[in-house]
Chains A and B, each alone.
Chain A
Amino acid sequence: MRVLLRVLVPLLGLAVALVGALVVLEVVALSVRPDDGDGLVVPWPQWYAALERTAWTDAPVPGIAIGTAVFGLLLLLVGLFARRPDIAVDAPAPDITVTTSARVLARLVGRRVRAADDVAAASVTASRRRVTVAAEAWNDADPGLADRVRARVEGLLDEVPLRRRPRVTVTVQERRGPR
């Protein structure tokens, strides 16, 4: 979202500036040589005539209006959702701000979970509020595995001073096939 915003806003700014410059140019040209029948850069007299002929109910008008509204909505959403999805970490002093990303948290959790021998594989998704671990057990696994994985994740969360402690969800699946 932020990348899209960084690309879109300069382009939109340039487009707005171009429209403004064309308006100024055409109006000044019309004032300087009023007898010239055509526009200097854009053929606005033809547009003018077309606009006089077209009624609000005619075919392209509602379509263009809806398209404009949809583009506006998308732009609005890009502007609203271009926040940084940072995860806040407690800092040792008030003039220090510490942040990390959900990806880093997920990798930390995944490394801790996979370090033990009783987990065959694990996938982790993390966000500010929730850490979800989908662990894959060997086929001779005992039912207490989910609790052990959860305890390991909670142990990691004790070590990393996150400002908001995420909730931990663990699911365990049995691995298919031989070990």
Chain B
Amino acid sequence: MVIEIKERDGGMTAILNGRLDTPAAVKAQQEIGPLLENADKEIIFDCANLEYISSSGLRLFLTIRKEASVKGGKIIIENINDEIRKVFMMTGFFNLFEIRNA
């Protein structure tokens, strides 16, 4: 499973694993309901085990980010690897999220 969603105090944590390529992102799209519903809270994406992302994966992040700005929540992206960091830079996504190392 590429996305694992957990509730925690004050918000939600989504753990991403492996390759978030187009087919994986299409599947994950159907699983992000709980994140969209809780987009008024703090959502942490733990990306320590995320190996790869394509534009369909980026679109998932953007969909949740847009929902958070409507509902007043916050999105934090943790522990992305250097290659994924470059993809975030290339697409301007770096400026759209709070990105940090835990």
Same assembly: no
Please report A residues at the B interface, Cβ cutoff 8 Å.
none
